């Protein structure tokens, strides 16, 4: 299912501190993450791309009003999105292979969402820890860097999901110059994210 409450609250706080006004959820499995980021004053546009009409209806019932929900295959839906976003957040399904691709689906979604990032914007994805060390992930990180997208910080979240033991991390990306330092931390159940 979706990420734990602690992760959702962390993203909501982060979006508020950044003052994000245009927010994209490029592969929404559970509406809670995007809803938390967009449920506040000052958000001009929030768009969630989901896999089917049933998820659209569920999202409309459960999430903050004002979020635009679109149904369709996220890999093709992202390329149809117009405009730019100052915050792109996602907890895509981890480890699924993307059709016709040699790397994982979450990487494909991240790559397709990158051009929609506005100058000064950031991307936050909940990814598998393998993003740090797997050979395919290294090639992907190099491709992102060539396009100007760099890892800004990593927050390890060992128990990020209710339904799986996959070790995950919140990975923060920014566009532009490579940061001089990489911030790395670990979220624990004892942290107060409020």
Count of domains forming the chain: 1
Does some domain include residue 192? Answer: no
127 token code pair: 């990814």
Q: Taking a C-beta distance cutoff of 8 angstroms, is the pair 86, 120 a contact?
A: yes
Each residue's pLDDT tens digit, 130-140: 888 887 888 88
Q: What is the pLDDT of residue 19?
A: 93
Does some domain include residue 194? Answer: no
CATH of the domain at 15: 3.40.50.150
Each residue's pLDDT tens digit, 108-147: 888 899 999 998 899 999 888 888 888 788 888 888 888 8
Each residue's pLDDT tens digit, 81-109: 999 999 999 887 765 555 555 447 788 88
What domain range is 76 assigned to? Answer: 5-186
Does some domain include residue 115? Answer: yes
Distance CA 75, CA 113 (A): 9
Q: What SS3 class is residue 118? A: strand
Q: What is the pLDDT of residue 102?
A: 46
Does some domain include residue 87? Answer: yes
Phi and psi at residue 95, in whole multiples of 5°?
Answer: 85, 0
Does some domain include residue 178? Answer: yes
Q: How far is CA 180 from CA 15, 151, 152, 169, 177, in A?
A: 23, 11, 9, 21, 9
Does some domain include residue 193? Answer: no
Each residue's pLDDT tens digit, 20-34: 999 999 988 778 889
Does some domain include residue 191? Answer: no
Does some domain include residue 155? Answer: yes
């Amino acid at each position: 299912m979706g990420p734990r409450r602690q992760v959702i609250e962390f993203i909501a706080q982060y979006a508020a501190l950044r003052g994000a006004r245009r927010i994209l959820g490029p592969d929404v499995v559970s509406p809670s993450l995007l809803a938390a980021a967009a449920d506040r004053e000052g958000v001009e546009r929030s768009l969630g791309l989901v896999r089917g009409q049933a998820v659209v209806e569920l999202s409309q019932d459960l999430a903050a009003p004002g979020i635009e929900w679109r149904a369709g295959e996220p890999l093709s839906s992202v390329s149809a999105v117009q405009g730019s976003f100052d915050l792109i957040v996602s907890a895509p399904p981890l480890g699924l292979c993307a059709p016709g691709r040699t790397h994982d689906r979450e990487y494909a979604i991240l790559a397709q969402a990158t051009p929609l990032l506005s100058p000064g914007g950031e991307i936050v994805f909940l990814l598998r820890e393998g993003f740090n060390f797997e050979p395919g992930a290294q090639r992907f990180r190099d491709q992102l860097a060539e396009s100007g997208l760099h890892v800004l910080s990593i927050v390890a979240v060992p128990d990020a999901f209710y339904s799986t033991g996959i070790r995950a991390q919140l990975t923060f990306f920014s566009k532009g110059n490579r940061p001089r330092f990489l911030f790395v931390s670990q979220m624990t159940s004892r942290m107060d994210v409020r």
